[in-house]
A and B are shown apart, each in its own frame.
Chain A
Amino acid sequence: MAHEWHRRLEARQLTFAVLAFVAVAIGGLVLLIPPYFLQGTITPLPGVKPYTALELEGRDIYVREGCYTCHSQQIRPFKTEVDRYGPYSLAGESVYDRPFQFGSRRTGPDLARVGGKYPDSWHWIHLRDPREIEPRSNMPRFDFLLEAPLDLSHTRKKLEVMRRLGTPYDDAEIEGAVASAQAQLAKLADGLRAGGMEISEIGGRSEGLAVIAYLQKLGTGIDWRSRGATEGRTADAR
């Protein structure tokens, strides 16, 4: 029979296992290795800066709460997506993202360019109770983040690890990581208070504020809002 050779293979465990492994390894090698040689996928775009210490902490909370299970951060190159969310996502924008946050389901809207779309106070109210802003929203309340003080005990270590992995933080940024996070928190809290929001002492150094700092950073690596692009205005309208 034509498959007699395979009969012999079925009696040889080691050979069989090696061949099966080779069969599954090829696809991965072809798909995963070559993209590393494409500069566009490893080089940040000119305006894309590493996250500040506070933004990084906020990002880690965003990840911790599984926000990516409902919000993508990946605008596809369709007119309707660009109209709704802003310019489509580029590879050079996510080079500092560990892990990536493209997402797979939009139970809520895409957040790739939510930075600058709403004032900080909008985010504060929306985190407290999304239905205060949009009664039809099915997003959970994240009020508990606004009452949880941000833990800065690992902040410096986080920046060190990021630098080791390739993010270009300099010595001063790592040394001053905690001070920088505290300063950015204070600035955010002062801004909110100046706008008439009641922010408690803990609220002023809360995990929620760190998340707001992160959200306001998203998609701002390319300066598309101030350019007054047509798509920008449409996106804000929706």
Chain B
Amino acid sequence: MAEAERAARVEYDMGVVRGFTIWALIWGAVGMAVGLMAAIQLAWPEANLGPIHFGRIRPIHTNAVIFGFTLGVIFAGSYYAVQRLCRVRMYSDALSKIHLWLWNAIIAAAAASLAAGHTAAKEYAELEWPLDLAVVVMWVIYGVNFFGTIAVRRVRSMYVALWFWMSTILTVAMLYVFNNLEFPVSAFKSYSIYSGVHDANIQWWYGHNAVGFVLTVPILGLMYYFLPKQVGRPIYSHRLSILHFWSLIFVYMWAGPHHLIYSPLPDWTQSLGTAFSIMLLLPSWGGMLNGFLTLRGAWDRVRTDPLLKMFVVGLTFYGMSTFEGPMMAIKTVNSLSHFTNWTIGHVHSGALGWVALTSFATLYYLVPRLWHTEMWSRRLVDAHFWTATLGIVLYVTPMWISGVTQGLMWRAVNPDGSLAYSFIESVAAIRIYDVLRVAGGAVFLSGVLMMIVNVALTIRRGSAAIPREAAPLAPAPAAGGR
């Protein structure tokens, strides 16, 4: 019996999780610093230095924070959790290592090639075809490793978080391949096989679902695993998880055309996009409530636990932006908000409020466990939480105000029906908000720098040497039983 137990012992691979944790933080700091630079360039055009101008900087910012920072956290969290939820080591150590370094190489090459002006010019899909191929290889490696681990699991049932990550892997593969089909002219230049409205249609099918299946679905996976872990009680409702999961992934995929309202895209397509965007409110709030209700009876701990503060404020921003999004998808509202800073405010309330705060909480959960020590400073974690929250408010509020201001100025008419303002007057009117945004971004970035210092000092104090073992199997599988 004792021998069988020993044979059944599994040592988790935490090396790959440590790698993704560190690199996610590095790319996060880089991506947000580049974002700050973009904000400075908008407020002070003299900060555009030759070819290093806003038009090239902005895609570097979005790619670094979405595919460097956020994906890095998703990889770290999902590699950590899948081994525990399946009670096995990763399917292949070699694939884990290749995944980590290929991903890092792609992000570095992406930054360099975008700076050099090699771009396919589709938002969040800017990389040129050789890098697209590398991304596909990297994603297949992640998929094989992740699905392979689940395939050899020693726990019968797959926990909710795994559903979210599995659907992420499948959906992103589909989105990425079809949106990036292009015909090469040279090693650095290609043309989309789609043109005009079809190119727009498929791009926003992709673009909206990059938000859906990189910034939402896998982050919900993190929430479903790490929030119950931190609270120390199971997720509120399994039935709600089921409803949440299937309705969310089904409905999300229809909402893309809300980026093309009043464009030359066929009207029925736009209307479908609007209708499904409004429907999306329900599954989104279902997931938010499942998270909030997990805290039932533990709300007092939100006062003292900085990680729970991050999860709770993160879920709150998730609820706010998934309410705001459907509203902005209504034609009447969209006619005002589209093309303005309101969109930028909406994106950042989701990206900084929901994605980044949940990601920070996940990393703060992981770091002490990966290096077998306490965080160097718990007060600094708390300070990071407050800094981040202040930064978000300072960033998003000016964007909302300037968005509405600009939208109203564009449509304002004199009593005789002529336009009340020239375009440049609307640019001048929002300049103060462009300056305020720089302040918001700087505050938010300073929180990330606090985190990096805190994590670095934690790592120096801790040790990576102690192996993490799977718990011996209980007679009846417990995971998934929540």
Cα-based distance from A86 to B189 in the complex (angstroms): 32
B55–A31 touching, CB < 8 Å = no
Cα-based distance from A98 to B431 in the complex (angstroms): 33
Asked if B299 CB lies within 8 Å of chain A CBs, one says no
B264–A20 touching, CB < 8 Å = no
Contact A66:B249 (CB < 8 A) given known A102-B260, A140-B54, A238-B422: no
**When the two chains form the complex, which single residue of B121, B249, B257 contacts A99, counting CB atoms closer than 8 Å?**
B121
Quick one: which of B196, B238, B257 has the most chain A CB within 10 A? B196
Asked if B50 CB lies within 8 Å of chain A CBs, one says yes
Contact A3:B424 (CB < 8 A) given known A30-B254, A72-B339, A97-B196: no
B339–A13 touching, CB < 8 Å = no
Chain B residues with Cβ below 8 Å from A199 are none
Which residues in chain B, 48-67, are within 8 Å of chain A measured between CB atoms? 48, 50-51, 53-56, 58-59
Asked if A194 CB lies within 8 Å of chain B CBs, one says no
**When the two chains form the complex, which single residue of A24, A77, A164 contacts B253, counting CB atoms closer than 8 Å?**
A24
A26–B58 touching, CB < 8 Å = no
Chain B residues with Cβ below 8 Å from A91 are 196-197, 264-266
Asked if A122 CB lies within 8 Å of chain B CBs, one says no
Asked if A201 CB lies within 8 Å of chain B CBs, one says no
Cα-based distance from A27 to B276 in the complex (angstroms): 10
Contact A63:B339 (CB < 8 A) given known A24-B253, A100-B195, A154-B185: no
Q: Total interface residues on A, using CB and 8 Å?
A: 86
Quick one: which of B55, B198, B265 has the most chain A CB within 10 A? B55
Contact A63:B121 (CB < 8 A) given known A31-B269, A69-B59, A136-B428: yes
Which residues in chain B, 370-422, are within 8 Å of chain A measured between CB atoms? 406, 410-413, 417-419, 422
Give the contact stretch, choosing among A33-41, A173-181, A182-190, A211-219: A33-41
Taking the nearest CB of chain A, how far is it from the CB of B128, in angstroms?
A: 11
B166–A17 touching, CB < 8 Å = yes
Cα-based distance from A31 to B252 in the complex (angstroms): 12
Asked if B473 CB lies within 8 Å of chain A CBs, one says no
A16–B427 touching, CB < 8 Å = no
A90–B264 touching, CB < 8 Å = yes
Cα-based distance from A195 to B48 in the complex (angstroms): 30
Contact A68:B201 (CB < 8 A) given known A76-B262, A80-B419: no
Taking the nearest CB of chain B, how far is it from the CB of A132, in angstroms?
A: 12
Chain B residues with Cβ below 8 Å from A78 are 262, 335, 411
Cα-based distance from A73 to B341 in the complex (angstroms): 17
Cα-based distance from A89 to B4 in the complex (angstroms): 72
Give the contact stretch, choosing among B29-37, B134-142, B167-175: B167-175
Asked if A84 CB lies within 8 Å of chain B CBs, one says yes
Chain A residues with Cβ below 8 Å from B259 are 104
Cα-based distance from A140 to B58 in the complex (angstroms): 13
Cα-based distance from A6 to B259 in the complex (angstroms): 35
Of all A-B residue pairs in the complex, the 4 with the closest CB atoms, nearest first, are A66-B55, A27-B253, A140-B48, A94-B196
Q: 25 A-B Cβ contacts within 8 A?
A: A6-B242, A11-B157, A13-B166, A21-B167, A23-B249, A24-B170, A30-B272, A32-B201, A32-B205, A35-B269, A63-B119, A64-B119, A65-B56, A68-B121, A69-B59, A90-B264, A98-B199, A100-B192, A100-B196, A100-B197, A108-B427, A109-B423, A134-B424, A140-B45, A140-B48
Taking A10-B157, A65-B55 as given, write out 11 further A-B residue pairs in contact, using a Cβ cutoff of 8 Å, ordered by the A residue number: A10-B480, A17-B166, A20-B163, A21-B167, A41-B196, A66-B119, A89-B264, A93-B264, A137-B424, A138-B42, A161-B183
